[in-house]
Amino acid sequence: MTYRKPTFHPANPASYRNRLREDASADYLIRLLWDALDYSAYGYGLYHAADLARRLQIPAISAIEFGVAGGNGLLALERHAAAIEAETGVRIEVWGFDTGTGMPPPQGWRDMPYRFREGNYCMDVDKLRARLTRAQLVLGDVAQTVQDFLTGQTPAPIGFVAFDLDYHSATLQALGLFEGDHAAFLPRCQLYFDNVIGYELSSYNRFVGELAAIEDFNAAHDDMKIAPSMALHRFVIARRWYHQIYLLHRFAHPAYATYVSGAGPQSLALKTDEAE
Ligand SMILES: C[S@@+](CC[C@H](N)C(=O)[O-])C[C@H]1O[C@@H](n2cnc3c(N)ncnc32)[C@H](O)[C@@H]1O
């Protein structure tokens, strides 16, 4: 069975997606786009980070999850890394950042104490470590661990980052990672933000939480901006996570202008006139 990207509208999208869930032989990217794998958003971001690395002839990249809780997302990120590594030939390191003890206290109204509170989302560190196959856990408050990370470790260039720390304060501290040297990053990094779309009780908006952290980051940096990905607008059926993919643009990165498109001089050439 040949499956198509969501530019195609099947008569019954739900059963089309269910078939893709079952069919392990189907194209990986198409399964991701139809949300037919766990944490498809992570796979999508990582896939396109690896694709950019391959085009720039960068042999290895890092993928990070900020906010791990029990570890379901980090384990899914590991599975995506294995599949995407096999498909693209780009080696992938996986990192997970968390306190290891659940949510710290909120630091004011921007942290949305009506929605998030201290002590939620605990981790069983030993149990998770026993399940991990490639991810490295970085435990502690991101206010400290992010600062130590780029100096203390030598990660492969960072290409994909998932933000799921819930609070404005923690997200802004995690975004401080991007202040590292260009060599530690791809020129454009795929980002996923978990808390930018949600139910009425969450009431996410640009003055609190992750959306406010993105605005604060952009206001503070002239040569780096975080912007929503426009790539997913081309599909007729939108999955929820299509609204959660952003890109970090590092305009001053030495490879930001490197040509990666497939278009050449003969692209868009005048078509042959039937009458000629
Ligand atoms: C919603 S949970 C993450 C869920 C996980 N991504 C998943 O998909 O299952 C949010 C996590 O952020 C972590 N967190 C919040 N503030 C933090 C901080 N300042 N430093 C480190 N971790 C923090 C909490 O410990 C919690 O485990």
Q: Cα(132) to centroid of ligand 1, in Å?
A: 17
pLDDT tens digits, 110-169: 999 999 999 999 999 999 999 999 999 999 999 999 999 988 889 999 999 999 999 999
Ligand 1 binding pocket (C-beta < 6 A) is 65, 67-70, 72-73, 97-99, 102-104, 121, 141-142, 164-167, 170
pLDDT for residue 238: 87
Determine, yes or no, domain membership for 14. no
184: exposed, middle or buried (Cβ count in 10 Å: 0-12, 13-18, 19+): middle
Structural domain count, the chain: 1
Determine, yes or no, domain membership for 173. yes
CATH of the domain at 45: 3.40.50.150
Spatial CB neighbours of 162, under 8 Å, sequence gap ≥ 6: 41, 42, 45, 63, 64, 65, 66, 67, 73, 77, 191, 192, 194
Range(s) of the domain holding residue 237? 41-250
Full 3-state SS string of 51-62: HHHHHCCCCEEE
* Alpha helices (H) along the chain: 13-22, 28-33, 40-55, 72-88, 125-131, 142-152, 168-175, 209-220
Quickly state the pLDDT bin for 275 (edges 50, 70, 90).
low
User: What DSSP character marks residue 97?
Assistant: E
Report the nearest-CA residue for atom 22 of ligand 1. 98
Determine, yes or no, domain membership for 256. no
Determine, yes or no, domain membership for 267. no
Phi/psi of residue 96, each to 5°?
A: -125, 125
pLDDT tens digits, 57-115: 999 999 999 999 999 999 999 999 999 999 999 999 999 999 999 999 999 999 999 99
Determine, yes or no, domain membership for 260. no
Nearest-atom index, ligand 1, CA of 170:
19
- Note whether 33 and 236 are within 8 A (CB): no
Determine, yes or no, domain membership for 11. no
Determine, yes or no, domain membership for 20. no
Determine, yes or no, domain membership for 264. no
Nearest-atom index, ligand 1, CA of 72:
9
pLDDT for residue 153: 85
